[in-house]
Amino acid sequence: MADRILIFYGSYRTDRQGIRLADYLVRAFAERGARAELVDARAVGLPMLDRMYKEYPAGEAPAALEDLAARIREADAFVFVTGEYNWGVQPGLKNLTDHFLEEWYWRPAAIVSYSAGRFAGARAGLAWHGILSEMGMVVVSSSIAVGGIGRAFDGDGKPTGDGGASLARAFPRFADNLAWWTEAARAQRARRAPPY
């Protein structure tokens, strides 16, 4: 059974650099046999959070919310690709995740951070760890941090330079860790219903 992995990306900027990282992850997971799908917060286009998906009467949520809720519920695992804005998380990605709650429960999540600088978005990655845990996901211990994002990929989207080389070295262990937790969570959900 192929793992169904949603890869979330949250930049709304015109000259987005991290989208190449998100696209790389979709390809790299697919090469390992997973069913990886990009969820681009800008493309989904949710408004600033006013009402969560669960707060709409059944059948009355906007189509984008309904569609994304179904895709989240059907997924086996999640990867959050996050840039770092002023030592914090990207508002677009945070806004998208906050529209949902129970849909995230009982699945593993992994964090991939990036930035233009040498800290590679590590502070945003650290912030996401607590956020995702609070939202009911099991955050795996392996993470990826890509510094110098503007120089980490060539024109064909292949990793290059120091940032790209670091990514290529880190990805196999990262993916193995997520796959182990994905299998474990799927087996446990099949064995016993979640407690709530």
Task: State residue 174's pLDDT score.
Answer: 98
Single-letter amino acid code for the residue at 181: W
**Residue pLDDT, tens place only, 91-139:** 999 999 999 999 999 999 999 999 988 889 899 999 999 999 999 999 9
**Residue pLDDT, tens place only, 11-46:** 999 999 999 999 999 999 999 999 999 999 999 999
Task: State residue 87's pLDDT score.
Answer: 87
**Separation of alpha carbons 161 and 49, rounded Å:** 38
Task: State residue 195's pLDDT score.
Answer: 87
CB-based contact 19:41 (threshold 8 Å) = no
Instruction: Answer whether CATH 3.30.465.10 is correct for domain 4-191.
Output: no
Would you list the domain boundaries of the chain? 4-191
What value does the mean pLDDT take over residues 49-68? 96
**Residue pLDDT, tens place only, 150-163:** 999 998 899 999 89
**Separation of alpha carbons 149 and 116, rounded Å:** 5
Task: State residue 86's pLDDT score.
Answer: 87
Task: State residue 81's pLDDT score.
Answer: 98
When pLDDT is cut at 50, 70 and 90, the band that residue 61 belongs to is very high
Q: 127 φ, ψ to 5°?
A: -65, -40
**Separation of alpha carbons 115 and 90, rounded Å:** 11
Listed as own residue / partner, the contacts of 150-156 with beta carbons closer than 8 Å and 24 or more positions apart are 150/17, 150/116, 152/20, 152/21, 152/114, 153/20, 153/21, 153/24
Task: State residue 106's pLDDT score.
Answer: 96
Task: State residue 1's pLDDT score.
Answer: 79
Beta-strand ranges (E) seen in the chain are 4-9, 35-40, 77-83, 108-114, 138-146
* Diameter over CA atoms, the chain: 50
